[in-house]
């Protein structure tokens, strides 16, 4: 019990102590609480900052990788482009080189070939020189010819003069004017006169009276004597010397028709021609051109050429030669051919229904047969008569 | 009486109406000789004077003549054709009067006659009628004369050939269609064959006919060339007769002027050399077609111009230019030189070397030259100067030329001097730089620019040294100079 009392006495003290201790703590509680809060918040902050730092770092890494990747891609693109450009530049440069060479070559060879032009001009000047030479020669030749012609004309003139002045020639007794005794040599005219032939005083052109000539010609009006030549004789002809026959007689003789002997009149191949003549006449008279070939199988050797219409590609078509109707054997009732007369395969119904008609019909048929036979006989007779017209038939 | 009239007719042209009325009944006389002589007298009268020919037409004599042409003998035909020719030659109206009275058909019938004299007279008359203008030529062609004329050309008589060739030439000269009709009958082959004939008058007519045909168009010229006239035609250029030379060079000119290919053909056969020689051997109007031919050939292309230069044509042309008294020939020579020199500097140099430029300049400047000559020489100078880089030839121009040409000259200098140091030195020593400084040019003009570019080729001192008034400026400086006192 003592402790209880003690405790109870102490209880207020305890209570007060309890209260005071608790309240004292309360004073510190806020502080401590605040401090704790601060510590906690700061710690939390640290944690989160650390986390953030971590996150930042991680994000940086990601971004770094991504950016590196992008950059590398870009770089590759650039490199590619650069490479392409470099290649293209190289190709362009090479192409330019080729084009440069080709253009130079083309211009120099096809558009303006300097050496060809030089050659051409050289050729032109050579041709010019050649032409100049040729023309010079031609001109010289012409001059020479002219001079020669002139000289010849002069010569002729002098010759003619000498012939005219032939009487001035010196004789033995009297020296001529060109052969003066005081000269050393005779004048060249003297020599010319000596060489020249004296000119006959007859005028070279005799003017004929055309009227007389024509009347002479027209006098011969007989039919046989006029000349039928194409070339007419010249009009102004010099009168020929000497007594001549009358022109009509001459022309008669000239244009007399030929009368050869019998020996000459026949041609040399006359026998051959006569044979030909005979052959022609016979040919004219013959009706049949084929040679008569009795007992020969000449005609059998000829190959028969069938019509196209009646032959097919596998051989001659039987339609048209063997049968003329389009037949369909599949539709036939029986395979034997259907005969309508001669009592054998007469249609049964017909015979039963109309017996009298059948008799009449049969009589008609018999008559027809007899007529046919008669006709055949007569035909044979006619043929025989044709073939052997002269034979007498003993029947 | 008729013989009297015939003999005196050349001397008594007056009293024409009386004469006509006297002669007219004689034409209807019974005796054929009187008819012929009367016709001959009429012909001579008409031949003498145009008025008399008109009187013949007015006196209604032509129908009678034409009517009897068809029937009479050959002497009468010759005389009547002579009358028609004499009347038709004076003027186109008289020729038209002849055509109107139906003479053409009878003349064409005369062309078929046997006697060559009749054919000659008829062809002559037709030629004179066709000469005047294209309608009359067409009338002659429509009458069917051309095939007969071609037959006449083939005849052996030289006189007939001549007349027929001249008639064909007169017909074909007016228009391309007429020339084509002549060609269609096959005239070219015969004409080409006759170039070789030795008779010079015949050659004249034949060459004239061919040139009249070739002048109209390229096709006709090609047909003439196909008849293989080259190089035979070149021998005609060496003929003694001047007119043969003239007609031959006319023919070559007419062919050369159409296309470069034809000119090329002529150059290849050596035609240029032949023509140059021909120009050298004759004087006056005979040269003119040759000069023009060189101009035409050179005008087509620069290669042809070079070929012309190579054939030594330029010295010959400059000789022509200086020697000839007549202006139109000088003008042609100036034109030809211009055509040669205008292509490239090489060509201009070839022309300038022969010292023709001063001659051209003097022709341009002289007051006596005709307008045509002045224009042509000016054009020639300009076209040559545009390309000329041969400085020794340009220098005289600095002194004499008028301003419009001076501009070009200075321009050429300004193109050449910057590149050539020797030329620069020569320019200075020959006094050219001094002259250039003396030229007064408006500021900003083309001339001033050229002068500036020339000045810029030289160091400043030289330019100042040669500028005018430099000596005065120096002297002034001397005056104003104060020597250092000591």
Task: Find the mean pLDDT for residues A287-294.
Answer: 72
Please list the alpha-helical segments (H only) found in B342-431: 345-353, 357-365, 371-387, 391-400, 403-416, 421-429
pLDDT digits 0-9 by tens, B118-127: 999 999 999 9
Structure ipTM over 0.85, yes or no = no
pLDDT digits 0-9 by tens, B140-193: 999 999 999 999 999 999 999 999 999 999 999 999 999 999 999 999 999 999
Give contacts of A129 with chain B, Cβ < 8 Å: 273
Two tokens, residue A102: 């080709």
Report the chain A residue with the minimal C-alpha distance to residue B267.
Answer: A124
| Nearest residue to B374 (alpha-carbon basis) of B327, B342, B418, B431 | B327
Report the chain A residue with the minimal C-alpha distance to residue B238.
Answer: A139
β-pair partners for A319:
A323
**Beta-carbon separation of A138 and B310 below 8 A:** no
Unique residue bearing structure tokens 């003479």: B103
| Nearest residue to B316 (alpha-carbon basis) of B350, B345, B349, B367 | B350
User: What is the distance between the alpha carbons of residues B166 and B168, in angstroms, rounded to a whole number?
Assistant: 5
| B234 near A CB under 8 A | yes
DSSP state string for A34-69: HHHHHHHHHHHHHHHHHHHHHHHHHHHHHHHHHHHH
pLDDT, residue A98, reads: 95
Percentage, residues of chain B above pLDDT 70: 96
pLDDT, residue A353, reads: 59
Radius of gyration of the CA atoms of chain B, in A: 33
| Nearest residue to B125 (alpha-carbon basis) of B114, B180, B136 | B136
Inform me whether the pLDDT recorded for A112 exceeds 60: yes
The C-alpha of A218 sits at a distance from chain B's nearest C-alpha, in angstroms, of 21
- From A120, A121, A131, residue closest to B234, measured CB to CB: A131
User: What is the distance between the alpha carbons of residues A59 and A62, in angstroms, rounded to a whole number?
Assistant: 5
Give contacts of A135 with chain B, Cβ < 8 Å: 234-235, 237-238, 274, 277
- From A124, A130, A138, residue closest to B307, measured CB to CB: A124
pLDDT, residue A81, reads: 96
Give contacts of B267 with chain A, Cβ < 8 Å: 124
| Cβ atoms of residues B164 and B135 within 8 Å | no
pLDDT digits 0-9 by tens, A328-387: 778 888 777 766 665 554 555 555 556 666 677 788 888 999 999 999 999 998 888 887
| Cβ atoms of residues A228 and A258 within 8 Å | no
Task: Find the mean pLDDT for residues B27-39.
Answer: 82
| Nearest residue to B87 (alpha-carbon basis) of B66, B70, B67, B73 | B66
The C-alpha of B18 sits at a distance from chain A's nearest C-alpha, in angstroms, of 39
| Nearest residue to B147 (alpha-carbon basis) of B107, B187, B119 | B187
Radius of gyration of the CA atoms of chain A, in A: 77
- From B234, B269, B307, residue closest to A135, measured CB to CB: B234
pLDDT digits 0-9 by tens, B429-481: 888 888 888 887 777 788 888 888 888 888 888 888 888 888 888 888 888 88
| B232 near A CB under 8 A | no
Q: Given CA atoms B9, B13, B19, B23 in this order, what sign does their dihedral have?
A: positive
**How many Cβ atoms are within 10 Å of A207's Cβ, its own excluded?**
7
Interface contacts (A, B; CB < 8 Å) = 50
Mean model confidence pLDDT for chain B: 88
pLDDT, residue B45, reads: 86
pLDDT, residue B28, reads: 79
| B406 near A CB under 8 A | no
A303 Rama sector, left if φ>0, alpha if ψ -120 to 50, beta otherwise:
beta
**Beta-carbon separation of A135 and B310 below 8 A:** no
Give contacts of B269 with chain A, Cβ < 8 Å: 127, 131
β-pair partners for A323:
A319
Unique residue bearing structure tokens 């017996």: A355
> Which value, to the nearest 10 degrees, does the dihedral of the CA atoms of residues B428, B429, B434, B435 take?
-100
Residue B65 pLDDT level (bands cut at 50, 70, 90): confident
**Residue A315 is inside which H or E element, if any?**
strand A315-316
| A39 near B CB under 8 A | no
**How many Cβ atoms are within 10 Å of B412's Cβ, its own excluded?**
22
Inform me whether the pLDDT recorded for A171 exceeds 80: yes
User: What is the distance between the alpha carbons of residues B463 and B454, in angstroms, rounded to a whole number?
Assistant: 10
- Give the Cα-Cα-Cα angle B402, B406, B409 (nearest 5 degrees): 145
User: What is the distance between the alpha carbons of residues B23 and B17, in angstroms, rounded to a whole number?
Assistant: 10
Give contacts of A128 with chain B, Cβ < 8 Å: 270, 272-273, 310-311
pLDDT, residue B328, reads: 93
- From A117, A127, A139, residue closest to B238, measured CB to CB: A139
- From A117, A121, A132, residue closest to B273, measured CB to CB: A132
Which residues, 6 or more positions from A238, have their beta carbon under 8 angstroms from its beta carbon? A206
**Beta-carbon separation of B274 and A138 below 8 A:** no
User: What is the distance between the alpha carbons of residues B189 and B183, in angstroms, rounded to a whole number?
Assistant: 9
Give residues 351 to 370 of B whose Cβ lies within 8 Å of A: none
Give residues 129 to 168 of A whose Cβ lies within 8 Å of B: 129-132, 135-136, 138-139, 142
Name the phi and psi angles at A312, rounded to 5.
-115, -175
User: What is the distance between the alpha carbons of residues A7 and A3, in angstroms, rounded to a whole number?
Assistant: 6
Q: Given CA atoms A287, A293, A296, A297 in this order, what sign does their dihedral have?
A: negative
Task: Find the mean pLDDT for residues A251-270.
Answer: 84
Residue A211 pLDDT level (bands cut at 50, 70, 90): very low
Give contacts of A131 with chain B, Cβ < 8 Å: 231, 234, 269-271, 273-274
pLDDT, residue A345, reads: 46
How many residues in chain A?
Answer: 395
**Beta-carbon separation of A127 and B234 below 8 A:** no
**Beta-carbon separation of A131 and B269 below 8 A:** yes
The C-alpha of A148 sits at a distance from chain B's nearest C-alpha, in angstroms, of 15
Mean model confidence pLDDT for chain A: 81
Give contacts of A121 with chain B, Cβ < 8 Å: 306-307, 310
pLDDT digits 0-9 by tens, B385-430: 988 888 888 888 888 888 888 888 888 888 888 888 888 888 888 8
**Beta-carbon separation of B235 and A138 below 8 A:** yes
Which residues, 6 or more positions from A323, have their beta carbon under 8 angstroms from its beta carbon? none
| B306 near A CB under 8 A | yes
B483 Rama sector, left if φ>0, alpha if ψ -120 to 50, beta otherwise:
beta
Substitution target in A135, A145, A150 with the highest count of B β-carbons within 10 Å is: A135
- Long-range contacts for B370-374 (Cβ within 8 Å, ≥24 apart)? B370/B327, B370/B328, B370/B331, B372/B327, B372/B328, B372/B331, B373/B327, B373/B328, B373/B330, B373/B331, B373/B334
Inform me whether the pLDDT recorded for A215 exceeds 50: no
Two tokens, residue B165: 């060739």
**Beta-carbon separation of A121 and B307 below 8 A:** yes
Give contacts of A130 with chain B, Cβ < 8 Å: 270
Give contacts of B277 with chain A, Cβ < 8 Å: 132, 135
DSSP state string for B65-95: HHHHHTTS-HHHHHHHHHHHHHHHTT-HHHH
pLDDT, residue A178, reads: 82
pLDDT, residue B123, reads: 94
* Prior bond of B416 cis (ω within 30°): no
**Beta-carbon separation of B311 and A125 below 8 A:** yes
**Beta-carbon separation of A128 and B311 below 8 A:** yes
pTM over 0.90: no
Give contacts of B311 with chain A, Cβ < 8 Å: 124-125, 128
Name the phi and psi angles at A170, rounded to 5.
-80, 140
| B272 near A CB under 8 A | yes
Instruction: Tell me B201's DSSP state.
Output: H
Report the chain B residue with the minimal C-alpha distance to residue A131.
Answer: B270
Q: What share of chain A is helix, strand, coil (3-state, %, to 5)?
A: 65, 0, 35
Which residues, 6 or more positions from B54, have their beta carbon under 8 angstroms from its beta carbon? B94
Give contacts of A142 with chain B, Cβ < 8 Å: 238, 240
Residue A7 pLDDT level (bands cut at 50, 70, 90): confident
């Amino acid at each position: 019990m003592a402790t209880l009392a003690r405790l109870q006495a102490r209880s207020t003290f305890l209570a007060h102590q309890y209260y005071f201790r608790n309240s004292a703590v309360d004073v510190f509680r806020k502080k401590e609480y605040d401090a704790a809060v601060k510590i906690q918040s700061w710690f939390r902050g640290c944690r989160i900052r650390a986390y953030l730092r971590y996150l930042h770092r991680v994000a940086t890494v990601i971004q770094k990788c991504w950016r590196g990747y992008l950059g590398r891609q870009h770089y590759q693109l650039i490199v590619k482009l650069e490479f392409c450009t470099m290649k293209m530049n190289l190709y362009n440069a090479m192409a330019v080189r080729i084009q440069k060479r080709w253009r130079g070559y083309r211009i120099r060879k096809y558009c303006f070939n300097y050496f060809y032009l030089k050659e051409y001009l050289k050729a032109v000047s050579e041709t010019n020189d050649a032409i100049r030479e040729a023309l010079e020669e031609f001109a010289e030749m012409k001059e020479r010819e002219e001079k020669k012609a002139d000289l010849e004309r002069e010569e002729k003139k002098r010759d003619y003069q000498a012939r005219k002045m032939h009487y001035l020639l010196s004789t033995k007794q009297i020296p001529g004017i060109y052969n003066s005794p005081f000269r050393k040599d005779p004048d060249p005219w003297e020599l010319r006169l000596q060489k020249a032939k004296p000119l006959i005083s007859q005028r070279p052109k005799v003017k004929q009276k055309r009227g007389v000539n024509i009347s002479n010609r027209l006098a011969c009006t007989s039919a046989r004597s006029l000349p039928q030549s194409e070339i007419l004789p010249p009009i102004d002809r010099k009168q020929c010397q000497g007594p001549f026959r009358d022109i009509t007689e001459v022309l008669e003789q000239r244009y007399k028709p030929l009368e050869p002997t019998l020996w000459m009149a026949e041609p040399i191949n006359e026998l051959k021609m006569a044979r030909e003549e005979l052959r022609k006449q016979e040919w004219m008279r013959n009706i049949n051109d084929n040679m008569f070939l009795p007992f020969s199988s000449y005609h059998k050797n000829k190959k028969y050429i069938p019509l196209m219409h009646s032959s097919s590609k596998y051989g001659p078509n039987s339609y048209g030669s063997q049968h003329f109707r389009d037949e369909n054997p599949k539709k036939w009732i029986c395979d034997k051919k259907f005969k309508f007369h001669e009592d054998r395969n007469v249609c049964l119904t017909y015979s039963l229904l109309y017996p009298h008609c059948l008799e009449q019909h049969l009589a008609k048929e018999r008559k027809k047969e007899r007529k046919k036979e008669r006709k055949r006989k007569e035909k044979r007779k006619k043929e025989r008569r044709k073939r052997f017209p002269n034979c007498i038939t003993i029947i | 009486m008729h013989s009297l009239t015939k003999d005196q007719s050349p001397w008594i042209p007056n009293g024409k109406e009386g004469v006509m009325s006297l002669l007219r009944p004689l034409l209807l006389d019974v005796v054929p000789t009187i008819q012929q002589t009367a016709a001959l007298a009429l012909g001579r009268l008409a031949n003498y004077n145009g008025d008399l020919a008109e009187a013949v037409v007015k006196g209604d004599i032509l129908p009678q003549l034409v009517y009897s042409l068809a029937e009479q003998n050959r002497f009468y035909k010759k005389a009547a054709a002579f009358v028609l020719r004499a009347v038709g030659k004076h003027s186109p109206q008289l020729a038209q009067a002849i055509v109107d009275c139906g003479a053409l058909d009878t003349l064409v019938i005369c062309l078929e006659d046997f006697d060559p004299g009749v054919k000659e007279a008829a062809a002559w008359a037709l030629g004179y009628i066709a000469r005047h203008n294209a309608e009359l030529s067409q009338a002659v062609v429509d009458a069917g004369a051309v095939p007969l004329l071609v037959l006449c050309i083939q005849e052996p008589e030289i006189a007939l050939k001549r007349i027929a060739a001249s008639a064909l030439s007169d017909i074909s000269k007016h228009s391309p269609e007429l020339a084509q009709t002549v060609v269609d009958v096959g005239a070219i082959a015969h004409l080409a064959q006759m170039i070789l004939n030795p008779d010079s008058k015949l050659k004249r007519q034949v060459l004239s006919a061919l040139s009249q045909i070739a002048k109209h168009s390229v096709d006709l010229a090609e047909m003439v060339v196909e008849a293989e006239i080259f190089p035979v035609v070149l021998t005609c250029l060496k003929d003694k007769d001047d007119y043969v030379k003239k007609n031959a060079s006319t023919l070559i000119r007419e062919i050369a002027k159409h296309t470069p290919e034809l000119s090329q053909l002529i150059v290849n056969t050596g035609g240029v050399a032949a023509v140059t020689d021909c120009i050298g051997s004759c004087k006056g109007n005979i040269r003119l077609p040759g000069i023009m031919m060189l101009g035409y050939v050179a005008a087509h292309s620069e290669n042809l111009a070079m070929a012309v230069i190579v054939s030594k044509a330029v010295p010959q042309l400059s000789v022509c230019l200086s020697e000839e008294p007549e202006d139109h020939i000088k003008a042609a020579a100036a034109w030809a030189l211009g055509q040669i020199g205008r292509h490239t500097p090489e060509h201009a140099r070839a022309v300038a070397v022969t010292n023709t430029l001063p001659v051209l300049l003097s022709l341009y400047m002289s007051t006596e030259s005709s307008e045509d000559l002045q224009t042509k020489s000016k054009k020639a100078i300009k076209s040559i100067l545009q390309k000329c880089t041969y400085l020794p030839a340009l220098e005289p121009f600095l002194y004499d030329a008028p301003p419009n040409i001076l501009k070009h000259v200075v321009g050429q200098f300004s193109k050449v001097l910057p590149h050539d140091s020797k030329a620069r030195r020569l320019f200075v020593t020959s006094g050219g730089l001094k002259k250039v400084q003396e030229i007064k040019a408006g500021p900003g003009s083309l001339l001033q620019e050229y002068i500036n570019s020339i000045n810029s080729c030289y160091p400043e001192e030289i330019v100042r040294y040669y500028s005018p008034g430099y000596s005065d400026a120096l002297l002034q400086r001397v005056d104003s100079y104060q020597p250092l006192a000591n």
